[in-house]
Amino acid sequence: MLAGAVEQFRPGEKRCRRDKHQCICDRLMSESRTAAAFGINLPVYHSFSYGLDSDCQARIGQRYRLPFGNDFKIGILVELGAATAPEQTLKSAAEAIDNEATLSPHLIELATWLADYYCQPIGEVLFQFLPRYLRGRQPLKSVALESWTASPTADVDLEQLQRRAPRQYELLIHLRQHATGLTPGELRAIHPQWRTPMRTLHQRGLVTCTLCDPVSLQALDRDQPPELSQEQAGVVEGMSAELDGFHVHLLQGITGSGKTEVYLAAMQTVIERGGQVLYLVPEIGLTPQLFNRVQRRLGAVVVASHSAQTDYQRFQAWEQFRRGAAAVMLGTRSALLSDAPRLQLIVVDEEHDASYRQQDGVRYHARDVAIKRAQMLDLPVVLGSATPSTETLFNLARPHYRHHRLTRRPGTAQPPHLQLIDSSRVEMDHGCTPQLLQAIQQEVQRGGQVLLFLNRRGYAPVVMCHACGWQSVCHQCDARLTLHQSMQRLICHHCGYSEIVPDTCPQCGNADIHHHGVGTEKLQHFMQRRFESTPVVRIDRDSVSDARQMERLLQPVQAGEPCILIGTQMLAKGHDYPNITLAGIIDVDQALYSGFYRASERLAQIVVQVAGRTGRAERSGRALLQTAFPDHPLMQGLLQQDYEQLVDLIMQERRLVGFPPYLRAITITADAVTLDAAMQRLQTLRSVLVDAGIGADVQVIGPIPALMTRRVGRYRAQFSLLAADMRKLRRALALLLPGIQGASGGKRVKLVVEVDPIDL
Ligand SMILES: [Zn+2]
Ligand SMILES: [Zn+2]
């Protein structure tokens, strides 16, 4: 339940600075007032109580302007009538911004659940549900546009009109040339003062005006669906039987098996009965190609929401979906928080992708919130992946989960052939073994396409002086600075700090500074030198800022020309490269001995995904995996290419050491100016648990310094709570809440709670 905070109000004491004569804060306290709780976008765990006149038509989810200190803030009404103090003592909420609720009761319920489950501040959570455009004082409005057309039947003497009213004539001629209508923006381009002459034309019955949505179905050709393979058809049939009510359908299909066609078929079923669909994809997976494909196939209005859009574009998509004018919202993580009056299906593509977890601000996992939302609304959710996460595979044992498999590629396409290359006994050239270089040479000579996966951007990860041993390290983090040669800078990948590459050693003045290791930038230079006539394309966060740019870079790959494609894990995200016949996986060994408990799961996912990019069309592909540990069980498991077998191996390990998904976890991280302060704060919290006798059911690990202790100039320590039962964990967390929420320590120590964290 939301706790109400009360700011005492004494009539006459405080006066509104905006308007001394009609200040609503100074209004006499009437008897007929209701207490109301509001969420304000602040990092506090409670809502704020204000008084509302009983006769006003307040609605849950409505936005209000609230007096706050000497200023105003925007609040979202979450509860009516729950007074935490006598109504008369409450400050009056100033005014409603909109006449209607901005967030539906369902979204308020979902936000309240999210804030409670993930232990995040309620106001911040509520504001995540609003598009950025509405987080200030902008009123909520419809984004439908006027569309003006010439009345086809109206008869008019054009010559006379041209003589007597040239502006009306000009507008009419333009409208007659545009049968689908012109918007105010387009009319303004024809004539800045178009309103007045248009009004006259309207009065004379020569033009008509209709309201239409910015994305609508005008002139949309519908594509015929391709014929489904027997396997696809079987899955579609099985899924359609359970598209009512709460079910979690896991669609596990190998890369290239046509999962999207199955999603589209399920979406079609739901849209035909008047429903709306939320279709989530990972950050970089939302391409214009996918958008067009969905829109043309479904013949329905589809809106998109992603981070490359302006605030207003995102608001437009949000508003059309909220009004029910759009049938599908295609978007990244935060699109899940959009409202829809007739939501009947949620699709989460590449459900294992880490971008569904919000890592800063409000921490939640969009896949898990999608499942909760589907449960609340009693509707189905489809999770798709070639490499499902361990959590999802674990959850398959639950009664409402369904498992569907696609094991074959449609048509004649063959799955790739995977081979290990032992890199421990050979001389490497720029991170590549002679065997790999030879295979690339052969492929390029045959006019083929090659994909090289290297999960390290920049030129070189280590810059050092051989004379004195100096290394370039970040002065704010426990991390090295990576050399980015194209920018001539050393950059920290953790805090973004950068400096110019020094000419001489800053420590001893030696002019001979060396760089070691290979990043994507260095690999690109090397490949370009070695294979001069073949284009080399690089895909990483430095070369790609959004999906559109990625699509531009990938044009030669899509066109099927011979080329070498180099990239980080960005490459493995849902894009089709139909002509790649060789994949080289360069340096994955660090994952075998990483402190990150999910490293082996990630490695398995990446290798299976990257290998799966090859041989999509008629030609079979092969994937070469370089490792210095070819006998490691995980490497041997990868060789078998059976993802489920690999996951079994990983799960056995997790069960043995007692890690998720066998146990549930909550981590609490303290971030402070000294490591001591961070550790002490956590020790205090821990002692609360010890005093309460928690320990039998809940395992407490730590506090210990975090894996990367110093980051952005602050020191981090953490402790984890682990238990088989989430309810027990939550009981332990409840004991800690007063200590976490009481903001003692202020800016000196910052606490972050993560429920179901992706790392421990
Ligand atoms: Zn030196
Ligand atoms: Zn740094």
> pLDDT per residue over 633-653, tens digit each?
888 888 877 888 889 999 999
Task: Give tens-digit pLDDT for 91-111.
Answer: 887 789 999 999 999 999 999
Residue 84 has what pLDDT?
57
* Cα pseudo-dihedral 524, 525, 528, 531, rounded to 10: -90
Residue 159 has what pLDDT?
87
CA–CA separation, 10 and 380 (whole Å): 52
8 has a pLDDT exceeding 70: no
> Average pLDDT, stretch 576-588?
85
Question: Token pair for residue 92?
Answer: 């009056």
Task: Give tens-digit pLDDT for 349-385.
Answer: 999 999 999 988 899 999 999 999 999 999 999 999 9
* Cα pseudo-dihedral 757, 382, 216, 322, rounded to 10: -50
What's the 711 CA to ligand 2 centre distance in angstroms? 6
- Burial pattern 490-510, b for ≥16 Cβ within 10 A else e, equals bbbbbbebeeebeeebeeeee
59 has a pLDDT exceeding 80: yes
Residue 618 has what pLDDT?
64
Give the predicted TM-score (pTM) of the model: 0.87
Least confident residue range of 93-97, 337-341, 403-407: 93-97
Which pLDDT band holds residue 21 (cuts at 50, 70, 90)? very low
30 has a pLDDT exceeding 60: no
What's the 502 CA to ligand 2 centre distance in angstroms? 17
Which pLDDT band holds residue 560 (cuts at 50, 70, 90)? confident
Q: Which ligand is nearest to the CA of 498?
A: 2
What's the 478 CA to ligand 2 centre distance in angstroms? 7
What's the 512 CA to ligand 1 centre distance in angstroms? 8
The residue to which tokens 């994949």 are assigned: 583
Q: Which ligand is nearest to the CA of 508?
A: 1
Least confident residue range of 7-11, 231-235, 575-579, 589-593: 7-11
CA–CA separation, 329 and 88 (whole Å): 44
Task: Give tens-digit pLDDT for 692-710.
Answer: 888 778 999 989 999 889 9
Task: Give tens-digit pLDDT for 210-221.
Answer: 887 776 655 567
What's the 472 CA to ligand 2 centre distance in angstroms? 11
If you write DSSP's letter for every residue of 65-129 in order, what string do you get? EEEETTEEEEEEEEEES--SS-GGGSPBP-EESSSS-SS-HHHHHHHHHHHHHTT--HHHHHHHT
Q: Which ligand is nearest to the CA of 496?
A: 2
Q: Which ligand is nearest to the CA of 470?
A: 1
Burial of 595 per CB tally in 10 Å (0-12, 13-18, 19+):
exposed
Residue 747 has what pLDDT?
63
Which pLDDT band holds residue 147 (cuts at 50, 70, 90)? confident
Residue 82 has what pLDDT?
60
203 has a pLDDT exceeding 80: yes
Which pLDDT band holds residue 15 (cuts at 50, 70, 90)? very low
18 has a pLDDT exceeding 50: no
506 has a pLDDT exceeding 50: yes
Residue 423 has what pLDDT?
93
What's the 713 CA to ligand 2 centre distance in angstroms? 8
Q: Which ligand is nearest to the CA of 708?
A: 2
